[in-house]
Each structure stands twice: as structure tokens, then as C-alpha cells.
């Protein structure tokens, strides 16, 4: 690998500023058809941290055999990924304005027509097993790369996830890292009100994984907890990243009805003001929209 490091080496701006701009991009994608705004805002900091501070991948090394691989299994949060791609040089900023247009490939779920996307998703519960396959391939080739899979906490309702958790530990896939975006919501309701997941750490440990808890909005904590990941032989590791759905924008945060949002253009401008700590937005759009 020519550049066996992260994009951070060529970075001058702070991760906080990057994350702020990522949230602006997410809000600007939440109009003219809308986006999964709440879900994207919850994992924005995790994705920014991964690309600036952890993943050994750069725009020029997206096909390098020695790269790390990131998979978004909860694919509807893809605005956070594309926004991070823009900020890290993987994607031209102008293409975000093609959101939901047939002239580009920037739609509600990730797809490999976008350089840097490793595998498409959309239906929940798929990419943990796909990630196991990719991690096995790296082990067969004795490659150093790691496979990171981001799962939603609502996604943990899917049986295929638990099947794959069992198989990964049985096969000793130690170059596999799972991050759970633990925003405590699934599409329309709080996770604990529907299919309670707690105690989640205990569950993962019972499945043979080493489990960690991290603040998914705190870069320093991610540095300390995720950043100190070291390979534990034959043991996959999971990081439960506590997050808030809609984090950074109070009018969206922690609301069951703001998972998918389709705001007017003026509301988006107001929400960006809100993001920067200025006046709260006044929202009149009907945002209770389930996809």
C-alpha cells in the first residue's frame, strides 16, 4: 500500500469542524424528497472519526488490497457517509446536489457506483455476514486490513445478525470490528419499548465477542476506546457507541417522528442556523414519514 494511513495526515481542520460541515450536508440532503436525517446525524461523528482517525484508506487507495474496509449495514444513514466522503476527498461536493436524481447514484441507500462504497445495503441484517466473508478473505491472503461494520441498534432485531455474531466468534474472525450506533431508537419507536436490547454488552460477550462501550459523539473518547483497538487473537470485537438520534440539531434530536425528514428549503436554512447554536428553527413540514 502506497499510503498506509488515514486521510488525517493531509488534514488541517479539526474533526469537530469536519463533523459540523458533515451535518450541514446531511441537512441539505433532507429536502426535495428527503433523507433519513435522524439516523444520519446519530452516526455522523462515528463515520467522521473512522475516516479521519482510524481507517487506513484514502481516496487514492480505495482499491488497494491492504486497505481497511467499512461497511454500512444500516444503509439508510448513507448521507453521513457521502458527506464524510466529500469532506475527506472521496467525492466531489457538487454531486451531493444530485441527491435522489437519476443522473447520479446518490439515493437513499449506499451502492458501489460511488467510489469508496465497499458493498451496497438497504435491507437490514446483511452486512455483518458479508463483512465476515471479506475479513476471511484478508486472513486467507495474510493482509493486515480490518473490516469495520456499522450496525444500527434497531437492526439488532434481525435474526441474521445474531446468526452471524455466533459464526464470527466460532470462526475466530479477529480482524472484524462491529460498531453499534446505539441511538436507542428504531424507525418509529424507542428500542427498549419494542424489542428491548439491554443488557447489550452481556449479550455480545455471551456470544463470544469482546465488547466495549464508547461515546459515539466524543472524539476523545473514540480515540481512547476505539482508537486503542488491538487484535485479540481469534476474538472479534464490538463497540457499542452511545449516540443520540438527530444529534446536533435540537429540533430533530431524540424524536421518534424525525427518523426520515423532508424539510422545505427555508427550514433547512433555519436548521443549519440551529446546528450552529443560533436560533431554533420553526418547523411546519410534516416530517412523520416512514419509508
Instruction: For cell 469537530, name the residue.
Output: 16
Positions that interact with another protein (CB under 8 A): 112, 118-120, 122-123, 125-138, 140, 159-160, 163-164, 166-167, 170-171
Least CB distance from residue 132 to another protein, whole Å?
5
For another protein, give the closer residue by CB, 65 or 189.
65
Closer CB to another protein, 13 or 163, in the complex: 163
The answer to whether residues 180 and 148 touch, using CB atoms and an 8 Å cutoff, is no
Q: Output 48 or 127, the one with its CB closest to another protein.
A: 127
Q: How far is the CB of 66 from another protein (least distance, A)?
A: 12
Smallest distance from another protein to CB 254, Å: 31
Smallest distance from the beta carbon of 102 to another protein, in angstroms?
18
Rounded CA separation 175/198 (Å): 26
**Which secondary-structure segment (H or E) carries 214?**
strand 210-215
By residue count, the chain amounts to: 291
Residue that is written with C-alpha cell 435522489 in the block: 100
Nearest to 288 by CA among 212, 208, 188: 188
Longest dimension (CA), the chain: 55
Of the pair 39, 164, the CB lying nearest another protein is at 164
User: Which lies closer to another protein via its Cβ, residue 136 or residue 253?
Assistant: 136
d(CA 149, CA 128): 6
CA–CA dist 55, 67 (Å, integer): 8
Nearest distance, CB of residue 222 and another protein, angstroms: 26
Amino acid at each position: 500500500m502506497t499510503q498506509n494511513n488515514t486521510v488525517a495526515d493531509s488534514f488541517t481542520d479539526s474533526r469537530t469542524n469536519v463533523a459540523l460541515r458533515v451535518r450541514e450536508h446531511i441537512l441539505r440532503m433532507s429536502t426535495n424528497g428527503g433523507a433519513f436525517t435522524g439516523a444520519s446525524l446519530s452516526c455522523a461523528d462515528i463515520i467522521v472519526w473512522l475516516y479521519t482517525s482510524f481507517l487506513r484508506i484514502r481516496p487514492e487507495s480505495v482499491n488497494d488490497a491492504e486497505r481497511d474496509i467499512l461497511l454500512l449495514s444500516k444503509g439508510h444513514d448513507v448521507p453521513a457517509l457521502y458527506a464524510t466522503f466529500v469532506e475527506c476527498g472521496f467525492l466531489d461536493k457538487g454531486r451531493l446536489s444530485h441527491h435522489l436524481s437519476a443522473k447520479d447514484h446518490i439515493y437513499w441507500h449506499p451502492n458501489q457506483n460511488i467510489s469508496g462504497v465497499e458493498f451496497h445495503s438497504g435491507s437490514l441484517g446483511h452486512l455483518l455476514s458479508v463483512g465476515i466473508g471479506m475479513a476471511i478473505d484478508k486472513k486467507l491472503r495474510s493482509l493486515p486490513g480490518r473490516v469495520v461494520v456499522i450496525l444500527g441498534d434497531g437492526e439488532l432485531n434481525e435474526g441474521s445478525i445474531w446468526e452471524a455474531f455466533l459464526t464470527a466468534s466460532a470462526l475466530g474472525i479477529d480482524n472484524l470490528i462491529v460498531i453499534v450506533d446505539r441511538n436507542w431508537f428504531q424507525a418509529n419507536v424507542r428500542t427498549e419499548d419494542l424489542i428491548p436490547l439491554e443488557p447489550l454488552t452481556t449479550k455480545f460477550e455471551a456470544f463470544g465477542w469482546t465488547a466495549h462501550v464508547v461515546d459515539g459523539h466524543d472524539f476523545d473518547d473514540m480515540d481512547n476506546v476505539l482508537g486503542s483497538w488491538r487484535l485479540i487473537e481469534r476474538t472479534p470485537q464490538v463497540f457499542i457507541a452511545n449516540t443520540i438520534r438527530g444529534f446536533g440539531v435540537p429540533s430533530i434530536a431524540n424524536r421518534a417522528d424525525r427518523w426520515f425528514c423532508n424539510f422545505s428549503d427555508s427550514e433547512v436554512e433555519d436548521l443549519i442556523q440551529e446546528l450552529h447554536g443560533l436560533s431554533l428553527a420553526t418547523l411546519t413540514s410534516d416530517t412523520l414519514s416512514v419509508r
